[in-house]
Structure formats: structure tokens, C-alpha cells
């Protein structure tokens, strides 16, 4: 019995020395940053698709606006709670000589688990400048995506999703 108590105390001391505590098992934050080419694609297939995947992002090289969908995967752990999405952001670049409006809609959820409330946002991007379309949660969902009406000569450069979950 004495040996058992000594081993238990040694294990407890070792755990404390290594900093293992309840906060170590608290909620974990995730930050996923990606080139838009990885996350976004045009609604329209074939020859009418004017989205060109570039190293710098997904660019509308056509003369008309085109609908683009960006989908973000959230890591899922068996038996864990639903992720809580805090922020979804798309970085844009305006290649036009005039300011331009870019309209996007955030769609939280999915067809299996149900859709949340759609959020709409329009941002004006100055000529030759960068812009940002951002949605702030929390959204308690398993899937999340953004649809944008991308004007000509505008590029979705980068996407970001920040979420948290219990381990």
C-alpha cells in the first residue's frame, strides 16, 4: 500500500511539474488562412466561367459579375461539441480604375444539420486597393460558407475562418 501511495504522489507531482491542469483541456481556438483558389469556385461551369485561379487568388477576368461560393471546413472530433465560428473573412483586390461594390452572403450551417440565419454584407473597395468582407459570429454550426457576387477585375485574394471548440 505504501508503494501505491508513493507512486500516486509521484504521478501527481510530475503532472503538476509538467503543467497539466484543467485549463489545458479548455476550449481550443483555430485559425485557418488560405488562398481563395483553395476555398472558392464559380457557380457557373464551362466556357461562361470567367473566374481564373491565379497564384494570388481567384480573379474575375470577365466583363460581367459572376457568383462565387467559398466553403470552409471545420475540424470535427468524434463526440465533441459543435464548433463555434467567430469570424469569416474574405480579402479582396480591386483591379478597376474606379471604386466598386462587392456583395456577399454568409450561410451558416448545412442541409443535413439545418441552416442558420443568412447574413449579408456589401463593401466598397477603392480603385486599385484591397478590401475586406467580414462576418462576426458566434455561429454554432458544423459547416459554413460565403457566396459573393464578384465584379469584373476583382480578385478574392485570401480567406480566413476563426473558430473554437471543446477538445
Domains and CATH numbers, the chain: 27-165 (2.60.120.260)
The string of pLDDT tens digits covering residues 91-147 is: 999 999 999 999 999 999 766 666 778 999 999 999 999 999 999 989 888 788 999
CA 57/CA 116 separation, integer angstroms: 28
Pairing relation of β-strands 57-60 and 28-35? unpaired
Q: Tell whether the model's pLDDT for residue 161 goes beyond 70.
A: yes
Q: Which residues contact 45 (CB under 8 A, 6 or more apart)?
A: none
Higher per-residue pLDDT: 146 or 166: 146
Higher per-residue pLDDT: 3 or 141: 141
CA 7/CA 15 separation, integer angstroms: 12
Global pTM value: 0.77
Mean pLDDT computed over 71-75: 81
Higher per-residue pLDDT: 95 or 74: 95
Separation in Å, CA 111 to CA 52, 115, 142, 152? 29, 6, 11, 31
At residue 2 the predicted structure's pLDDT band, cuts being 50, 70 and 90, is: low
At residue 86 the predicted structure's pLDDT band, cuts being 50, 70 and 90, is: very high
CA 124/CA 90 separation, integer angstroms: 13
* Closest by CA position to 49, among listed 120, 132, 150: 150
Q: Tell whether the model's pLDDT for residue 4 goes beyond 50.
A: no
The string of pLDDT tens digits covering residues 30-47 is: 767 777 888 888 887 776
Q: Are 66 and 82 in contact (CB under 8 A)?
A: no
* Closest by CA position to 129, among listed 89, 98, 90, 151: 98
Q: Which residues contact 151 (CB under 8 A, 6 or more apart)?
A: 60, 65, 96, 100, 101, 102
Residue 76: the pLDDT is 65
Amino acid at each position: 500500500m505504501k508503494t501505491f501511495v508513493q507512486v500516486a504522489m509521484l504521478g501527481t507531482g510530475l503532472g503538476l511539474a509538467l503543467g497539466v491542469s484543467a485549463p489545458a483541456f479548455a476550449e481550443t481556438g483555430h485559425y485557418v488562412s488560405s488562398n481563395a483558389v483553395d476555398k472558392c469556385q464559380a457557380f457557373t461551369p464551362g466556357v461562361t466561367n470567367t473566374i481564373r485561379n491565379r497564384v494570388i487568388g481567384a480573379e474575375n477576368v470577365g466583363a460581367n459579375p459572376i457568383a462565387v461560393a467559398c466553403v470552409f471546413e471545420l475540424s470535427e472530433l468524434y463526440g465533441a461539441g459543435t464548433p463555434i465560428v467567430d469570424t469569416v473573412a474574405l480579402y479582396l483586390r480591386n483591379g478597376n480604375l474606379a471604386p466598386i461594390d462587392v456583395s456577399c452572403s454568409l450561410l451558416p450551417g448545412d442541409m443535413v444539420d439545418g441552416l442558420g440565419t443568412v447574413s449579408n454584407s456589401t463593401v466598397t473597395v477603392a480603385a486599385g486597393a484591397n478590401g475586406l468582407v467580414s462576418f462576426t459570429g458566434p455561429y454554432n454550426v458544423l459547416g459554413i460558407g460565403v457566396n459573393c457576387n464578384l465584379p469584373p477585375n476583382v480578385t478574392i485574394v485570401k480567406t480566413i475562418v476563426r473558430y473554437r471548440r471543446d477538445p
